[in-house]
Amino acid sequence: MALRTRLAVWYTIVTAGILALYLLLSLALLRAQLLRQVDRQLAEHAREVRDALLQRTDFRQSVEEGRIQLPAVPPGAPPIYLQVVRGNESVAARSPNLIGRRLPLDMDLVAINVQGRAAYKTVTTEEGTLLRLYSLPLMDSGRLVGAVQAGYPLLDIEQTLQRTWTTLAVGGILVLLALSLAGWWLASLALRPVDHITQAALQIADTPDLRQRLPLPRARDETYRLVSTFNALLDRLARVIDAQQRLGADVSHELRTPLTTIRGNVALLRRGAADDPQEREIALDAIEAEVNRMSRLVADLLLLAQADAGLQLEKQPVEMDTLLLEVYRQAQAMAAVSAGAVERVTVRLGHEDQALVLGDPDRLRQLLLNLVDNAIKYTPRGGTITLSLYREEGWVRVSVQDTGVGIPPEALPHIFERFFRMPRQGRKGVGLGLAIARWIAEAHGGRLEVESQVGQGSTFTLWLPEAKASSMS
């Protein structure tokens, strides 16, 4: 069932319920109002009879002997029946319209009259007609002499209610049909923007170009938020697809070079280089280096996949000053290997506080080495890389500062994205190191920041929550 159909059906059901409740309440209020009018008339007639009887000096004897003349109902007046009953429940007098009959005797009314109180009740006559009955006690010196009873047949009221119900029901059905059509129209009108969004989304889905976006409505309503959310989803999807495409291109490129090198060295060994110890050693070193390079690439991809799957790190107390010293020594070796025989990048220690954090030492070492490796790649020969460690108000700050080429301002917002590489800097990596570094920082409850100026260098800053030594014991 279509959404507009469901909305129209539910609108009709709710409207029908409201109309039915309105009709029932209207009838109940009308019936109560009509009964109040009848009760008022019954009480007036009964009090007139009682007052007339109480004015007689032989009031008690008149009731007992039945010497009472009740007034007749004028022509055109409501058909009210009157009778006077004695304390022994026998009839002392009847109105002319009750000749040969009597009003029903109700024991509940008798019990109330004995207490000196008047009461109303709806009773059923012997003919099965509903009758509204009012019984007013006749008291003499605190004792019940009898009662004046007034009755009104409710047939005309029931007929009035029946006609009213029929009229309201027919009118309600017509109104419900009209409101149902209006509900269908309103549902269609409200969902029309959704239909337009659906058609536009289908057109975008049928094309390979994900740069298209849905036009934003003028009114900032729910439709505007829906379109904004859909466009944001398309932006994210486009970035994911672009990252996948770059992943395929980057991985294929990164694997093509080492595979070509390995294949060439294997062919060289087969052609006789294996017989020459020096050439064999050179070929095997080249193969080993390329295998290590591919292993690092696969390991980085696997780590990011595990991070996306919610990998939890095993944390323990880590002395960051000791860890930074280890990274410093390894960074010197990395700088020496990258330089070879020419002037190399200088790696030095800056400010170093003693600091303790709760974390995974291997992952933290990997994070810092990724920053150092990145700094070595983009720092010219003769440049300097400085490693520093500070304690600041419950945080541990580790900075890796270089005097390299710097990062262009347009690249700064994307520097930590996967497979992102700075333009015009050559192919110096796959673009996973900084993405892995940021994930490790966030997995430790910290963050990774960068400041850079083109031509002057960059500073990567790692912030980690400090762990107190007393809480570790």
β-strands 384-392, 346-352 pairing: parallel
Whether 33 and 106 share a structural domain: yes
The string of pLDDT tens digits covering residues 157-195 is: 888 888 988 888 898 889 888 888 888 888 777 777 777
**Residue 96 maps to which CATH number?**
3.30.450.20
The span from the CA of 43 to the CA of 151, in Å, is 10
> Could you tell me which of 437, 406, 435 has the C-alpha nearest to residue 422?
406
Whether 422 and 345 share a structural domain: yes
Helix (H) or strand (E) holding 134: strand 130-140
More confident of the two residues 361 and 207: 361
User: Can you give the pLDDT at residue 1?
Assistant: 63
Mean pLDDT of the chain: 83
> Could you tell me which of 345, 408, 342 has the C-alpha nearest to residue 373?
345
Token pair recorded at residue 22: 């309105």
- Is residue 145 one of the residues assigned to a domain? yes
Highest-scoring range by mean pLDDT, 116-130, 246-260, 421-435: 116-130
The span from the CA of 50 to the CA of 53, in Å, is 5
Q: How many percent of the chain have pLDDT more than 70? A: 90
User: Can you give the pLDDT at residue 427?
Assistant: 45
The span from the CA of 209 to the CA of 205, in Å, is 9
Q: How far is CA 187 from CA 10, 180, 193, 314, 359, in A?
A: 11, 10, 11, 55, 56
**Residue 418 maps to which CATH number?**
3.30.565.10
Whether 350 and 468 share a structural domain: yes
- Is residue 197 one of the residues assigned to a domain? no
Model pTM above 0.75: no
The span from the CA of 143 to the CA of 113, in Å, is 10
> Could you tell me which of 200, 240, 238 has the C-alpha nearest to residue 216?
200
The string of pLDDT tens digits covering residues 134-150 is: 999 988 877 888 899 99
DSSP, collapsed to helix, strand or coil, labels residue 238 as helix
Three-class HEC string of 174-226:
HHHHHHHHHHHHHHHHHHHHHHHHHHHHHHHHCCCCCCCCCCCCCCCCHHHHH
More confident of the two residues 276 and 18: 18
- Asked if pLDDT for residue 346 goes beyond 80, the answer is yes
DSSP, collapsed to helix, strand or coil, labels residue 269 as helix
What mean pLDDT comes out for the span 6-16? 83
What mean pLDDT comes out for the span 364-374? 91
| DSSP H helical ranges for 271-391 | 277-308, 320-339, 361-377
The string of pLDDT tens digits covering residues 223-245 is: 778 788 888 887 877 777 776 77
Residue 422 CB: number of other CB atoms within 10 A? 18
- Asked if pLDDT for residue 331 goes beyond 50, the answer is yes
- Asked if pLDDT for residue 416 goes beyond 70, the answer is yes
User: Can you give the pLDDT at residue 120?
Assistant: 92
281, 308, 335 — which closes off a domain? 308
What mean pLDDT comes out for the span 77-91? 84
The string of pLDDT tens digits covering residues 22-69 is: 888 988 998 899 999 999 999 999 998 888 888 887 888 888 877 888
- Is residue 239 one of the residues assigned to a domain? yes
- Asked if pLDDT for residue 196 goes beyond 70, the answer is yes
Report how many domains make up the chain. Answer: 3
| Adjacent-strand bridge partners of 81 | 151
- Is residue 24 one of the residues assigned to a domain? yes
264, 287, 308 — which closes off a domain? 308
What mean pLDDT comes out for the span 93-108? 84
Whether 275 and 335 share a structural domain: no
Token pair recorded at residue 300: 């980085």
What mean pLDDT comes out for the span 353-375? 92
The span from the CA of 443 to the CA of 445, in Å, is 6
User: Can you give the pLDDT at residue 429?
Assistant: 59
- Is residue 73 one of the residues assigned to a domain? yes
What mean pLDDT comes out for the span 381-410? 92
- Asked if pLDDT for residue 340 goes beyond 80, the answer is no
Whether 304 and 320 share a structural domain: no
Q: How many percent of the chain have pLDDT more than 90? A: 23
Whether 465 and 321 share a structural domain: yes
User: Can you give the pLDDT at residue 243?
Assistant: 66
- For residue 113, the enclosing domain spans 3-159
Residue 194 CB: number of other CB atoms within 10 A? 14
Which residues neighbour 315 within 8 Å (Cβ) at sequence distance 6 or greater?
A: 358, 359, 360, 444
The span from the CA of 118 to the CA of 140, in Å, is 15
List the 119-124 sheet strands across, edge first: 91-94, 81-86, 143-153, 130-140, 119-124
| DSSP H helical ranges for 415-466 | 433-443
Whether 152 and 27 share a structural domain: yes
Which residues neighbour 179 within 8 Å (Cβ) at sequence distance 6 or greater?
A: 11, 12, 15
Token pair recorded at residue 258: 């080492």
107, 130, 159 — which closes off a domain? 159
- Asked if pLDDT for residue 343 goes beyond 70, the answer is no
The span from the CA of 307 to the CA of 438, in Å, is 11
User: Can you give the pLDDT at residue 341?
Assistant: 42
- Is residue 198 one of the residues assigned to a domain? no
Whether 10 and 152 share a structural domain: yes
Whether 362 and 298 share a structural domain: no
Residue 436 is which amino acid?
I
- Is residue 170 one of the residues assigned to a domain? no
Whether the CB-CB separation of 413 and 374 falls below 8 Å is answered with no
**Residue 287 maps to which CATH number?**
1.10.287.130
Whether 301 and 447 share a structural domain: no
Whether 325 and 416 share a structural domain: yes
Whether 278 and 325 share a structural domain: no
- pLDDT confidence tier of residue 210, bands split at 50, 70 and 90: low
What mean pLDDT comes out for the span 394-413? 91
Q: How many Cα neighbours within 13 Å face the side chain of 454?
A: 9
State the sign of the Cα–Cα–Cα–Cα dihedral 178, 184, 190, 196: negative
Which residues neighbour 183 within 8 Å (Cβ) at sequence distance 6 or greater?
A: 7, 8, 11, 12, 15
- Asked if pLDDT for residue 258 goes beyond 80, the answer is no
Radius of gyration (C-alpha) of the chain in whole angstroms: 50
Highest-scoring range by mean pLDDT, 269-278, 366-375, 418-427: 366-375
User: Can you give the pLDDT at residue 321?
Assistant: 93
More confident of the two residues 300 and 368: 368
Q: How far is CA 344 from CA 180, 378, 384, in A?
A: 82, 12, 9
- Is residue 337 one of the residues assigned to a domain? yes
The span from the CA of 433 to the CA of 334, in Å, is 15
User: Can you give the pLDDT at residue 450?
Assistant: 94
More confident of the two residues 182 and 248: 182
More confident of the two residues 8 and 348: 348
The string of pLDDT tens digits covering residues 421-462 is: 766 554 455 667 888 899 899 999 999 999 999 989 999 999
